[in-house]
Amino acid sequence: MDLPRILVTEDEEHTRKQIVDHFTKRINCSMLEAKDAYEAEKHIKEGSIDLILTDIKMPGKSGVEVIIQVREISKDLPIIVLSRLDDPQVEEKLKSLNVEIIPKPFPTKIVFEKSIEKLKACNKYFPKEI
């Protein structure tokens, strides 16, 4: 079984850990964590990622910059943006980059359900037996 590799890029540690915990209790996967865009870039360069969950507003570099870099490599890699978007230009740019947007605050359950849809589409969904 080739477990999905899911990258969670979120500067708020509590939110990042909540997502990781929710996923690891319910599906077989490898969760990668990044507290900023720079750490996310390292994970992306290290190997294949099957799904990216990312915030946009982070210290230093924006999540939009990371998404643009990912899109240069893969047009189809599923990306879900988890962010408060208050700039219509940023929102339009994200839509042009083929990402799904879930606005903050969000229920973790919704993030999980959308992620499962993406993983199923690429045959990378392996639920844990309860």
- DSSP secondary structure letters along 56-118: S--SSS-HHHHHHHHHHH-SSS-EEEES----HHHHHHHHHTT-EEEPSS--HHHHHHHHHHH
Describe the crossing of helices 108-121 and 13-26 by its angle, rounded to 10 degrees. Answer: 50
pLDDT above 70 (res 127) = yes
pLDDT above 90 (res 85) = no
Q: What is the pLDDT of residue 130?
A: 66
Q: Which CATH architecture is the domain 5-121 placed in?
A: 3-Layer(aba) Sandwich (3.40)
Q: What is the pLDDT of residue 39?
A: 95
Provide the whole-model pTM. 0.94
What's the full length of the chain, in residues? 130
